[in-house]
Amino acid sequence: MAQYDYDLFVIGAGSGGVRAARLAAMSGARVAIAEEDRVGGTCVIRGCVPKKFMVYASEFAHHFKTSKGYGWTVEGASFDWPAFLAEKDKEIARLSGIYVRNLQNAGAELAHGKARLLDAHTVEVGKIGKRTADKILIATGGRPWRPADLPGVEHAISSDDCFHLPKLPKSIVIGGGGYIAVEFAGIFNGLGVDVTLVHRGPNVLRGFDDDVRSHVTEEMEKRGITVILAAQHTAIEKTANGFMNKLSNGHECESELVMLCLGREPYVEGLGLEKAGVKLNEQGAVAVDEYSRTNVSNIWAVGDVTDRINLTPVAIREGQAFAQTEFYDTPTSFDHEMVASAVFSQPPIGSVGLSEADARKQYGKVDIYLARMKPMKYAFAGSDERALLKLVVDCATDKVLGCHVVGPDAPEMIQMAAIAMKMGVTKHQWDATCAVHPTLAEELVTMREKHEPLGLGQVA
Ligand code: FAD
């Protein structure tokens, strides 16, 4: 093994790469990790973390409105975008610093620069030069995809740009209907921007339960977001005040800013995969098996670059499983079943397991338990915001196949539901759980039949 400079060379210091590098180095292996940007990757620098800060910042407008119903008067409230950005950047720098320290404390060497493979054991990193390694892990993540043939596409920003806008626009048109588009629609709306969401599909959030999708669309519209479905940009033209959005349904609207969130693609450009003989799948992602092994025996890949489930905790667990398998002599493959997810829309979503449509396809006969209600906090304040809770249950086995929540704290709730569902909970066991009152979550354990309850939480 001494024939190589390192036992492991990791390309990409994001969620998956950092976890793998750190664990491998802690086992005593000689590890290097290359990063062309800032350590922390998408999640810390331009994804989950700064986005969640923006969600928090934008929610205050709604809280101020609700507070009136509780007797508060909030006068002269205003939002200072540059001040918020400065605080956000401070926190991101702090978190990135923690990642760097954790790597260094574990004994991993950090190489700043873009890495590219020269062959299956050789990596070249920017000005640092060539390094050899016994094992190589590709953890280069993904990046925003944009249609190169859309006229005026260069005028549109992506989610990467949202974290450094010099000022908030008065209006924005967001193209896309995935979770990033929906989350930013809520963020900009909360910050007082006039938001239009344009999505080519019949509803936003493809892949989520249909009731959840409709519910969230309705709630977004209640908050003043214009949602245009079954349409997409055909051109973006520069105007004196911003941009003209030309849509496939003939509609035209002007906005100060245009943002496209049309999906993400595995980031493999300039990586030299062909030199090492690493194969991509049909979607352009690095093809791997359940142990994250590529077709080249000493090269692995984890995280978004493999396009399995593109979420931070998944990238971390894939990186961890790789390190356990290769450096701790404990063969481990991450189980991609029952991974819960959240959308930090306003109101937010928590979801785990199958949608009703997928459950019907896979299991045939399913029971649906559905509740829509006004969350106590908002009903008291005279708001017509509604929450949705839904369970999908297999008729044959009574197993809970899907749990979907839209409403305050849904992302927090779903983490707990995911534990039970990962353990294979039945509806009978679910119902045997005593409620926590008064909460929205209690509706989850008090739904006995498919119905529309009228109450606010549990009525004695
Ligand atoms: P990344 O974190 O993207 O890390 C890859 C790293 O590799 C990057 O730092 C990149 O600079 C570096 N790199 C790439 N190529 C090279 C090279 N050739 N040489 C050197 N370095 C290189 N997930 C959630 O779970 N919850 C959320 O709320 C959430 N919100 C998101 C919001 C947004 C706006 C976005 C864009 C993503 C969000 N995600 C969220 C997804 C999450 O960020 C990713 O799934 C996760 O970061 C993937 O980790 P990774 O290690 O695969 O890649």
Respond yes or no on whether the N-terminal peptide bond of residue 151 is cis (omega within 30° of 0).
Answer: no
CA dihedral (100, 106, 107, 111) positive or negative: negative
Of 134, 173, 114, 112, residue with least CA distance to 31: 134
Tokens standing for residue 48: 């989950």
Find the 301 Cα to ligand 1 centroid distance in Å.
13
* Domains, the chain: 6-144+265-327 (3.50.50.60), 153-262 (3.50.50.60), 341-445 (3.30.390.30)
Find the 43 Cα to ligand 1 centroid distance in Å.
5
Q: What is the pTM of this model?
A: 0.96
Q: Return the residue whose CA atom lies nearest to atom 30 of ligand 1.
A: 48
Count CB atoms within 10 A of the CB of residue 144: 20
Backbone angles phi, psi at 380, to 5 degrees: -60, -35
Q: Tell me the helices (H) and strands (E) count for the chain, helix number first.
A: 13, 21
> Under a CB-based contact definition with an 8 Å cutoff, are residues 40 and 96 in contact?
yes
Ligand 1, from 22, 312, 341: best to mutate by most atoms within 8 Å of Cβ? 312
Which residue type sits at 454?
L
Q: Which residue's entry shows tokens 């934008």?
A: 58
Q: Which residue's entry shows tokens 């929205």?
A: 440
Of 143, 199, 210, 459, residue with least CA distance to 354: 210
Gap between the Cα atoms of 268 and 301, Å rounded: 11
Which residues, judged by CB distance below 6 Å to any ligand atom, belong to the binding site of ligand 1? 11-17, 34-37, 41-43, 47-48, 51, 114-115, 139-141, 159, 180, 267, 271, 303-305, 310-313, 315
> Under a CB-based contact definition with an 8 Å cutoff, are residues 305 and 138 in contact?
yes
pLDDT tens series, the chain, 460 aa: 469 999 999 999 999 999 999 999 999 999 999 999 999 999 999 999 999 999 999 999 999 999 999 999 999 999 999 999 999 999 999 999 999 999 999 999 999 999 999 999 999 998 889 999 999 999 999 999 999 999 999 999 999 999 999 999 999 999 999 999 999 999 999 999 999 999 999 999 999 999 999 999 999 999 999 999 999 999 999 999 999 999 999 999 999 999 999 999 999 999 999 999 999 999 999 999 999 999 999 999 999 999 999 999 999 999 999 999 999 999 999 999 999 999 999 999 999 999 999 999 999 999 999 999 999 999 999 899 999 999 999 999 999 999 999 999 999 999 999 999 999 999 999 999 999 999 999 999 999 876 444 444 444 4
Gap between the Cα atoms of 368 and 395, Å rounded: 10
Q: Which of 336, 428, 437, 451 is catalytic?
A: 437
Q: Return the residue whose CA atom lies nearest to atom 36 of ligand 1.
A: 47
> Under a CB-based contact definition with an 8 Å cutoff, are residues 110 and 13 in contact?
yes
> Under a CB-based contact definition with an 8 Å cutoff, are residues 79 and 57 in contact?
yes
Ligand 1, from 42, 131, 182, 264: best to mutate by most atoms within 8 Å of Cβ? 42
**Is 251 an active-site residue?**
no
Tokens standing for residue 436: 């926590």
Gap between the Cα atoms of 157 and 231, Å rounded: 19
β-strand partners of 8: 31, 135
For 304, how many CA atoms within 13 A lie in the half-sphere containing its CB? 22
